[in-house]
Structure 1
Amino acid sequence: MGAGIALVGSVSALQPVSVCNEQLSSRVDTNDAWIRSRTGIAARRIAGPGETLTSLATAAAQAALEQAGWDAEDLDLILLATSSPDDLFGTAPRVQGAIGARQAAAFDLTAACSGFLFALITAGQYIRGGTVGRALVIGADQLSRWIDWDDRSTCVLFGDGAAAVAVEACEEPRNGLLGFKMHSDGRRADCLSLRQRDDHVPLLEGHSSQKGGFETIHMNGQEVYKFAVREVPAVLQELLNSTGTTAEQLDWLLLHQANQRILDAVADRFAIPHERVLSNLARYGNTSAATIPLMLDEAVRDGRVRPGDLIASSGFGAGLSWGAALLRWGGPGGARAPAAPG
């Protein structure tokens, strides 16, 4: 095969339990109007008993194989973008074992809300290098386990979910990863964090050992908002310039689903009509690494995104990290896509 990367399948996995704003208002001092006006969120899915990140990611992975028409043993790579693994040593291998992908290497990639896009770009480099022919890129997070449900500034924002995209090597005319940019700034890491607890237990006389465990999510909402509305348009412009693309050529803008005001502000910056901005934030909230593939899958299933459509996508969040990619949707069966613009 050539040096292209075709996006040939997308699926999602969601918990059945949806928690609406009115339900949260019975626990914390908030209300539906306050949450909607500041975030655009109306509800979010929350994992229940017996539902784990592994089970969600496995369901998405299995469905992605079926949609792409692949056998599990033909899979070369599984990348799981997550910041909330069931096992700190890695959850991707558990997914690999569950779906029977015995020939596939599997590992986690942690980049919070930028994770899926960073993982997709990483898979693309393995494919371009010729070492991988077929890969599953999964975005999955279960942040409900790390939320302070008495903190109204964060508990209203996050939800759980998983989605996967199947990608494979292809000839250049079908290439679906037309360009990308990635950035990080650890100097601002404390703006959005999930830190190790500073707990110690006695070990030997005069010595102690740090006890494992994490705090709940901490976020400086104002700083994260200012970061997003400044850096996301900048990285998208950087991407468009590097690929010789204009905003008018885009069929869709697909951003990390964090806040509707951010989505609207970025669209306005590029004079992109709001109806061309993909958003399901109202129903699912911020599912971290899962937001972009969840939204992509929904738009593919309802027919908005069609084979050949040109999509500018950007992920941004903790780290702080942010990036963008220019994508061409291929569709199940490897539908032929046009050549890159410019």
Structure 2
Amino acid sequence: MCEGNIHTARPRTCCGWCALTCGYIPCVIAMTLIAANILPYHLFFLPLLHSACQGGNASFAYYYYCIVVMVLAEVMVYSNLLLAIFTCPGFVPHDPWTEAPVFQGRAVSDNPYEVFELDRLGRLRYCSFCKQFKPDQAHHCNICRCCVYRMDHHCPWINNCVGRGNSKFFLLFVGYIPVGAFHIVFTSLFSCVFHFPNFFSTALLEGDALTNIIIFLSILFSSIMGFCFLAFALHFLCMAYRGQTSVSRMIASKKQPEELEQLRKRHAEDRIFYMFDLFGVDQRWYRMILPFKPDHDLRRAPCGYARRFGGSAGDYFSNLV
């Protein structure tokens, strides 16, 4: 069984370590596919562009622009991918969630946190696997074997859940792939038209045909990757703006019309909470687009956030001081 990751698994045998390692094979495949998209640009397109610069058909300023933007996109993609893999998604602690939370302020409990969501039977949501109650928007992951705060989904390509702790890095990862992919497409097409004389008419007849074919395939592959990941990133952002996750969206699709309207209203109210989960307290633009770890300081969180989405009981009471 290739289950678990470094955040949940503690192997004690060789078989356990092998199983844990196997879980990261999809991560290696993802990195390899990204590299397969990048390497032709460096190994075939840029040398051809450099030759065009030496021949006077292109400027060296454009050549260095292509290099700098491509390297920046690569750094952002790989750094955010690694951070999404190795950052804990945010597991719900046992203390105080072994105790029943307060439902819409209607009861007193040893658990100071408040919930607004009930299960299908109208009861407080309880995880029979973790033996504890669940905060709003938290769900159990069968692979991580834990309940995750604001769980969106478990992604096999990062061998990790996408939750409160790493959702920003996951969003930036899928968001910077189109940046790099479309950079490859636009710069390659621009150079093929303006910098490489007769590129299309002589691609298979003269010169290095293999280089021309690889550049063409690179443009095609980058276009497919760019559009696919752009659609995924926009979908993720759209759900965040609505205060939804993939799991909550799926649950909402099964609700009755009268329940659905109430749920949509609550999601709209939770939008500011979701943005806090994504980007933290400091939401200046450059911190939002760079892989800075979000500052989830509960003392500076939006009003009502700490009461519903805080951590342990100690965290909650310390923020009342």
Q: Fold-level match, TM-score > 0.5?
A: no
Structure with the largest fraction of strand: 1
Higher relative contact order (CA 8 A, sep 6+): 1
Q: Which has the larger radius of gyration?
A: 2
* TM-score (ref. length: structure 2): 0.25
Flag the structure with higher helix content: 2
